[in-house]
């Protein structure tokens, strides 16, 4: 195990952030040393991956833990892919496409590591990672033992799971191998792109290429423009609770969710109020997608949260809808 003091924390928002201790684990053999360190240092703890979904403070007065497990094992006997937490998510998606393993293609080009994917139950274009997971191998930081969580034990819901803010260090994820050619192309944006460009989507690579092109137009590359992707979740509300005084129902993007609720497009809500947002020095909306907040590399956590709070207030006052922040905020 590598221990660094006063170490910088990488993050895609470009916030200059350091922590008291950074612990880097290279294998399961480091768990005993990790136990000793945590036992002897009574500090708050946070687990990170590549930092693509974090809003960090300037200084985290505690311990940051990162598991650098980056193995990928194709276990054909058990129909599983066993993937280390540090393996890059997009590399996994491309590996699966090359091996004709289906279900990952809609989630192409999502930044971050494999280990972070179940925490927020990442999803895009009609797919969620929870549908691909059989179980997750974790190291419990309170009982100091290895545990295996089944899919149902993770309590996956829209953009959330019981893994969020838990003291469980994910070090390996076991994905189900699916070789059936049941492509998911019913998401409206995908259907529109296929129709407008008069193309076919017959393979996982076809679907992945379409989604990559859609994403590249709407979402900035975090390696070029500082961002964490979608900053707010699409709210799930009762249709009768929405205030349509300023804007009609037809002006909003609304999907059926269940018998009592609808899901509302957060980007559209922000688009309708963005002219009322005051100018902030270091944070702004991305010009191609109102759900994405970008920074100039000089922003602090306070800058980002103040900007987000103003958007939340304007949306609530206009539509009676509360927007929930999607990335993890660390204090």
**The domain that contains 14 carries what CATH number?**
3.30.43.10
The last residue of one of the domains, among 50, 67, 84, is 67
**Predicted local distance difference test score (pLDDT) of residue 180:** 81
Would residue 26 count as lying in a domain?
A: yes
Contacts of 145 (CB under 8 A, 6+ apart): 139
- Distance between CA atoms of 246 and 272, rounded to whole angstroms? 10
Whether 95 and 46 share a structural domain: no
For the chain, 331 residues long, the average pLDDT of each consecutive 10-residue run is 97 98 97 98 96 97 97 95 98 96 96 96 95 98 97 95 94 93 90 94 95 94 95 96 96 94 97 96 96 97 98 98 96 94
Report the sign of the C-alpha dihedral through residues 212, 214, 216, 221, in that order: negative
CB of 153 within 8 A of CB of 161?
Answer: no
Nearest of 308, 312, 309 to residue 323 by alpha carbon: 312
Nearest of 177, 147, 176 to residue 162 by alpha carbon: 147
The last residue of one of the domains, among 41, 67, 93, is 67
CB of 81 within 8 A of CB of 101?
Answer: yes
Would residue 232 count as lying in a domain?
A: yes
Would residue 190 count as lying in a domain?
A: no
The pair of structure tokens assigned to 59 is: 């200084």
Domain count for the chain, please give it: 3
In 68-190, which ranges are E strands?
Answer: 72-75, 80-84, 123-124, 127-128, 133-140, 145-150, 168-176
In 141-282, which ranges are E strands?
Answer: 145-150, 168-176, 226-230, 236-237, 254-256, 262-264
Would residue 236 count as lying in a domain?
A: yes
Whether 59 and 98 share a structural domain: no
Whether 34 and 92 share a structural domain: no
Whether 31 and 113 share a structural domain: no
Whether 233 and 264 share a structural domain: yes
Would residue 38 count as lying in a domain?
A: yes
Would residue 27 count as lying in a domain?
A: yes
Domain that holds residue 8: 2-67
**Predicted local distance difference test score (pLDDT) of residue 165:** 85
How many other C-beta atoms lie within 10 A of the C-beta of residue 275?
Answer: 7
- Distance between CA atoms of 26 and 144, rounded to whole angstroms? 17
**The domain that contains 156 carries what CATH number?**
3.30.465.10
Would residue 207 count as lying in a domain?
A: no
Whether 104 and 172 share a structural domain: yes
CB of 86 within 8 A of CB of 94?
Answer: no
CB of 137 within 8 A of CB of 114?
Answer: no
The last residue of one of the domains, among 38, 67, 96, is 67
- Distance between CA atoms of 92 and 17, rounded to whole angstroms? 28
**Predicted local distance difference test score (pLDDT) of residue 179:** 81
Whether 94 and 169 share a structural domain: yes
Report the sign of the C-alpha dihedral through residues 270, 274, 278, 279, in that order: positive
**The domain that contains 296 carries what CATH number?**
3.90.78.10
Whether 103 and 50 share a structural domain: no
- How does DSSP classify residue 194? H
Would residue 268 count as lying in a domain?
A: yes
Whether 300 and 230 share a structural domain: yes
Whether 164 and 235 share a structural domain: no
Helix (H), strand (E) counts: the chain: 6, 19
Contacts of 305 (CB under 8 A, 6+ apart): 55, 329
């Amino acid at each position: 195990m590598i221990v660094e003091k006063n170490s910088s924390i990488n993050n895609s928002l470009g916030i200059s952030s350091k922590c008291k201790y950074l612990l880097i684990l290279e294998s399961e053999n480091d768990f005993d040393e990790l136990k000793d360190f945590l036992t002897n240092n009574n500090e708050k703890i946070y687990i990170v991956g590549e930092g693509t979904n974090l809003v960090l403070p300037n200084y985290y007065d505690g311990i940051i833990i990162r598991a650098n497990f980056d193995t990928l094992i194709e276990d054909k006997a058990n129909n599983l892919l066993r993937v280390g937490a540090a393996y890059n998510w997009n590399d996994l998606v491309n590996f699966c496409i090359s091996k004709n393993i289906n279900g990952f293609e809609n989630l192409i080009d999502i930044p971050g590591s494999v280990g972070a994917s179940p925490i927020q139950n990442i999803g895009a274009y009609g797919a969620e990672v929870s549908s691909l997971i059989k179980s997750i191998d974790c190291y419990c930081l309170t009982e100091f033992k290895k545990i295996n969580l089944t899919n149902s034990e993770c309590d996956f819901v829209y953009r959330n799971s019981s893994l969020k803010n838990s003291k469980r260090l994910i070090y390996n994820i076991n994905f189900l191998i699916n070789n059936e050619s049941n492509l998911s192309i019913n998401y409206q944006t995908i259907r529109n792109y296929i129709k407008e460009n008069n193309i076919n989507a017959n393979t996982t690579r076809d679907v992945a290429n379409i989604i990559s092109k859609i994403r590249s137009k709407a979402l900035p590359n975090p390696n070029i423009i500082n961002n964490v992707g979608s900053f707010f979740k699409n709210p799930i509300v009762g249709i009768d609770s929405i205030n349509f005084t300023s804007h009609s129902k037809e002006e909003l993007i609304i999907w059926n969710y269940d018998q009592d609720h609808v899901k509302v497009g957060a980007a559209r809500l922000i688009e309708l109020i963005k002219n009322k947002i005051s100018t902030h020095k270091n944070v702004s909306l991305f010009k191609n997608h109102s759900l994405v907040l970008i920074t100039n590399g000089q922003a602090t956590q306070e800058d980002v949260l103040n900007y987000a709070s103003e958007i939340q207030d304007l949306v609530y006052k206009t539509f009676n809808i509360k927007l929930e922040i999607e990335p993890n905020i660390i204090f």
